[in-house]
Structures are given as structure tokens and as C-alpha cells.
Amino acid sequence: MAWHFDREAGQGLKLISPTLLYVLVMLAAPLLMVITFSFWTQDYLTIDTTPTFANYREAWTTPLYQVLMWRSLKISVIVTGVTVVLAFPIAYYLSFHVKKRKALWLFLITVPFWTSYLLRVFLWKVILGYNGVFNTAFLELGLIQEPLTFILYNLNAVVITLAHAWAPFAILPIFVALEKIDRSLLEAATDLGDSPMRRFFRITLPLAMPGIVAATLIVLIPTVGDFITPRLVGGTDGLMISNMIQIQFGKANNAPLGAALAVSSMVVIGLISAGIFLVGKKLGGRVR
């Protein structure tokens, strides 16, 4: 009933301070350092600390980086779209049609996620390869005459692999949002004359929007940062900006440029995320 402000605030802050301190030292400070770093330059083995936009100029104007950045965004957006669209019916099925053993279903959905990430990506390579499971099986069944080649070492493979990797992260938020929908709202819509389809678009979908937005962001943001999947199954035209960031910090030994690329991709993805969040909020708030 009453707010126990003064004493409460002190206790709460005291309690959270160790965790906050850790995050400040280990996350906030390093992130600030990366930003600072991106304004410095690599001078062979030493770092020139004169502030400059040179790295950003290079990051934004070099055709290779532009291509990689565009491709990263394109792949991330496609992966996110595919993942969320594929995940929604599953979440819907679990929430509305599975009556018993919901927890078991949820558990089963998360199990594949606990296979070593590297191995999961590698196994997709095995499945999709020229002599892979998919091709051998389909050849055997006579469904195809010769091995399909368009499924490995390109964008398709990256999309399939990532859609698989992020599935539970897309399903769970949508499922939670659907679970929260008061079922009497749906009965009310029917009672007021909505057909099941109209009802779905007027009630269920808008109310599930927070979950859809959460799923979208949870998949989109880390996807941009993935460099394993493109490297293992993407071939040369599946490479993404993160591979370049990794190269700059590794072999190319140009950390400041890597930092500029990292900051740039974060800013871009941050803006896109904010946009998605706002659009989702608007769509969710308005029940048509």
C-alpha cells in the first residue's frame, strides 16, 4: 500500500551494487573503451591515440565493408523474419492447443539448443553438403536427380542454420505473450460477432505483439554478431561484418578499425531495434 521509499531505496541499491559494479567494470567500461579505441589508429605495432574519424571513414566508404555491412543486415533481417514467422505457429500451437504437458514441450524445444553451438552449425554443414544427409536421402528416394548445390556455402545455408539456432529464443517470448492473453477476451470477440480469422487479427495478434517484438530483437541483435555460422556454412558470399571484425582483431591486427566496425554495426542495429520496438508498440497498442 504505502511506498517505503527512503529505507527501501537504500537497501535496494546496496543489494544490487555488487552486480552493478561488476557490469560497470566488465561491460560499461570496456564498451566505452571500444568507442574511444575506434577514434584511435593502428600504427603497425603501436596505437596512435590522436582522435580521428579515419577508421569510421574507412568503415563507411570501403566497398568491401559496405558490402559486408549490407549483407549482414540483409541476412540478419531475413533470418529474424524467417525465425519469427516459423516460430509463431509453434508458440500458438503450444499455447492454445497443447492442454497437457506444456512444460515438456517447452523443454523439448530447448534441448537442441544445448548441443554445442559449434557442433550444431557443423552438423548443418553435414546435412546440407554435396554428399550431405539431405542430398543422399533425396537422391535415394528419387526426389532429385543430382545433388542440390544451392543449399550449402551461401546465404540459404546461413539462414537455415541461424533460424535453427535461435528457434527457442523466438518461440519462448511469443509463447509467454500468448499465454498471458485472457481467454475471455477471445470469447468476447466471438460473442461480438468476429469470425475466428478476424478475431485472430484484431485480438490475438495485437496482444501477442510484445512477445513478437521481444522475439524479433532477441534474434536480430545477436545474429549480426555471429561469425561462426557464416564461416562454417556461408562460403564466401555468406561472410558477414562480424567475420571482418574478428579478422581485424585477429590476423589483420587493426583493432581500432575493428572497433569502428563494431561500433558502427551496433549503432545501425540499435537504430533498427529502436524502430522495430516503436512500430511493435504502435501495432500492439492499437486493436483494429
Partner 1 sequence: MKWISVKWLTVYAVVYMIFLYAPVILLPLFAFNTSTIIAFPLSGFTTEWFVGLWYTDTLHTALGNSMIVGVTTALVSTLLGAFAARASARFAFPGKTGIVGLIMLPLVLPEIIVAVALLVMLNQLGMPLSLWTVVGGHVLICTPFSIAILSSAYRGLDRELEEASFDLGESRWGTFRRVTLPLVLPGVISSLLITFTISLDEFIIAFFLTGTDVTLPVYIWSQLRFPAKLPSVMALGTILLAVSVLLLILAEALRRRSAARQGVDTTLAGV
Partner 2 sequence: MTRKDDMNDSIKPMIEIRDVIKKFGTFTALHGITADIREGEFFSLLGPSGCGKTTLLRAIAGFEPPTSGTVAIAGKDMAGIPANRRPTNMVFQSYAIFPHLNVEENVGYGLKTRKMPKAEIAREVAEVLSLVDMKNYGKRKAHELSGGQRQRVALARALVMRPKVILLDEPLSALDKKLRDQMQMELRSLQRSIGITFILVTHDQEEALIMSDRIAVMFDGQIEQLDTPEGLYRHPVNKRVASFIGVMNFLPARVTALSDTHLTLGIAALGEAQVPRDRLGKDVNPDKIDTIGVRPEMLTVLFDQDERSQNKVKGEVVDTEYYGDMTYYEVRLPGHDKPLTISMRNTAGRSVVAPGSTVSVGWGIESIVVFGE
238-267 residues near partner 2, rule: CB under 8 A: none
517505503: which residue's cell? 4
The stretch near partner 2 (CB under 8 A) out of 1-9, 77-85, 92-100, 214-222 is: 1-9
2-31: contacts with partner 2 (CB under 8 A): 2-6
- Report the alpha-carbon distance of residue 266 to residue 208 in Å, rounded: 27
272 binds, among partner 2, partner 1, none (CB under 5 to 8 A by kind): none
CB of 53 to partner 1, least distance (A): 18
Q: Is 286 near partner 1 (CB under 8 A)?
A: no
Q: Is 157 near partner 1 (CB under 8 A)?
A: no
Question: What does DSSP assign to residue 172?
Answer: H
CB of 14 to partner 2, least distance (A): 17
Q: Name the nearest CA neighbour of 106 among 122, 83, 87.
A: 87
Angle made by CA atoms 79, 82, 84, in degrees to the nearest 5:
100
Reported in sequence order, the residue ranges of 15-79 that DSSP labels E, i.e. its strands, are 41-43, 46-48
CB of 108 to partner 1, least distance (A): 7
Q: Is 268 near partner 1 (CB under 8 A)?
A: no
Helices (H), 142-286: 155-165, 167-180, 183-191, 196-199, 205-224, 228-233, 241-249, 255-285
The residue within the footprint of partner 1, chosen from 56, 222, 247, 276 (CB under 8 A), is: 222
In the complex, the residues that contact partner 2 under the rule CB under 8 A are 1-6
